[in-house]
Amino acid sequence: MHPLPLRAERPIHPLVVRITHWVNALAMLIMITSGWHIYNASPIFGEWAFPKAITLGGWLGGALQWHFAGMWLLVANGLVYLTYGLISGHLRRRLTPLRPREIGQDFVAALRFRLPHDPGVYNAVQRLLYVAVLLIGIVIVLSGLAIWKPVQFAPLTALMGGYDTARIVHFLAMAGIAGFVAVHLALVLLVPRTLPTMIIGREIHWRRNRVVKP
């Protein structure tokens, strides 16, 4: 018999979290792919460059316009998420506590593929990763401002070690976020039942029809 979907009553992700999650995904996709095109125009690491097929913008001016559009979308969306998370207590509930012992235990369990996963609760490794990517997000915004307006934000650019160093910081922060996204997608593939919860906000359980014998 075909399985029938049964929608759980327990809410997992609030509407604001779901909307900001998908808007954030779009903004990061725009910024990363357009940023790769901008990087290619003036490579930092020798002649190495990103394949044009995976970049956005078509030409440098177009890539810059896409990048700025993604930047404002990311900043506005991030402010909405942080405001909601702080006022509602969502960030405190989901991302704390961070105890080194728990992180170590969950990390070892993850390496052994024995880490239990509850869509409504983040384990210690997940909490660490989400806090880290939020901090990296702050770094990438600040380094981006230092590159975008090095004269107007001269103290910030100096704090980053100068324009050229700020570019390296910005690139490394981008690599950190891209790495987080790769791990995030890999976990979704390993635990696919987490995807519907970020769409409908609730976990879907599956049950099979029972065959009643006469």
pLDDT tens for 147-191 read 999 999 999 999 999 999 999 999 999 999 999 999 888 878 877
Mean pLDDT, range 80-96, rounded to an integer: 91
- Is pTM, for the whole model, over 0.85? no
pLDDT for residue 24: 94
* Range with top average pLDDT, 103-107, 114-118, 149-153, 190-194: 149-153
pLDDT for residue 212: 44
Q: How many CB atoms lie within 10 A of CB 17?
A: 17
Greater confidence (111 vs 153) lies with 153
pLDDT for residue 206: 53
Q: What DSSP element (H or E) covers 11?
A: strand 3-11
Buried b (16+ CB within 10 A) or exposed e, 74-107: beebbeebeebbeeeebbeebbeeeeeeeeeebe
Greater confidence (101 vs 120) lies with 101
Report whether pLDDT(204) > 70. Answer: no
Side chain identity at 74, as an amino acid letter? Answer: L
pLDDT for residue 10: 60
Report whether pLDDT(210) > 80. Answer: no
Residue among 80, 90, 67, 113 nearest 11 (CA): 90
pLDDT grade for 7, boundaries at 50, 70 and 90: very low
Mean pLDDT, range 72-92, rounded to an integer: 93
User: Cβ(207)–Cβ(27) under 8 Å?
Assistant: no
User: What percentage of the chain has pLDDT greater than the value 90?
Assistant: 58
pLDDT grade for 211, boundaries at 50, 70 and 90: very low
Mean pLDDT, range 119-133, rounded to an integer: 86
User: What percentage of the chain has pLDDT greater than the value 70?
Assistant: 88
pLDDT for residue 148: 93
Report whether pLDDT(121) > 90. Answer: no
pLDDT grade for 201, boundaries at 50, 70 and 90: confident
**Is 57 exposed, middle or buried, given 0-12, 13-18 or 19+ CB atoms closer than 10 A?**
buried
